[in-house]
Structure 1
C-alpha cells in the first residue's frame, strides 16, 4: 500500500506532466471542472481542478461536489501515474472507477 505522501507525490508529478503538455492539448481537451481522487484503501482523498489541460490547486481532502471523480487504490494511483497501469484497462477491469459525464470522460482520457 502506497503512503499518502507517495500519492501526493504522484499527483504532483501528474500535475507537472499535464501542465507541460497543456499548451498542445488546448482545444482538444478543454475542461474546467473540479475533480476528486479518492483512495479506497487509505480512506483519503485529494481534490483540485482540471483547467485548460492542467491539473491545478491540488489539496488533500474530498470535494463531494466534484464533477469528475476517480476512485482507486493508492498503489493503482502510483502505477497509473508511473505508466505501469493503463487507464483504459484499469477502468475496464474495475480497478479505476470514474464518475463523469461521457464527454468529460473522453477528454479526461486524452489528458491522462
Structure 2
C-alpha cells in the first residue's frame, strides 16, 4: 500500500497552491482589464494569497469558489464583508445553511443585477 508522509503531502499541497496562485494571477487581466493594480505584481500576488486565506476562513475551498472570492477580495478590498456597502456579502458568506457555491452564485447574481440597474437608470 502506498503511504504518503505528512511532509510529502505538504509539499504536494504547496505545489498545488502555487499552481492555483499562478492561474489566478494569469486570469486577472481579463477580469480587471486596464486596472492599474495589475502593474504591481508583488502586491497583486499578496492580495491573491490573502484572498485565498480569507476564503478558507469562510469555508470556501473549491477552486472555482476560491477564485470568485479572490476576485471579490481584489475588487472590494480586505474586510469587504464588514463594510457598510457590502456587508450583505458578509451575511451570505457566513450563512452556514448554504454551500459555498450557492453563496458565491448569489453574490455574483446580485452584483450583476445591480450593474444592470445602473446601466438602465
The TM-score with structure 2 as length reference comes to: 0.30
Tell me which of the two structures has the higher relative contact order, counting C-alpha pairs closer than 8 angstroms and 6 or more residues apart: 1
Larger radius of gyration: 2
The TM-score with structure 1 as length reference comes to: 0.32
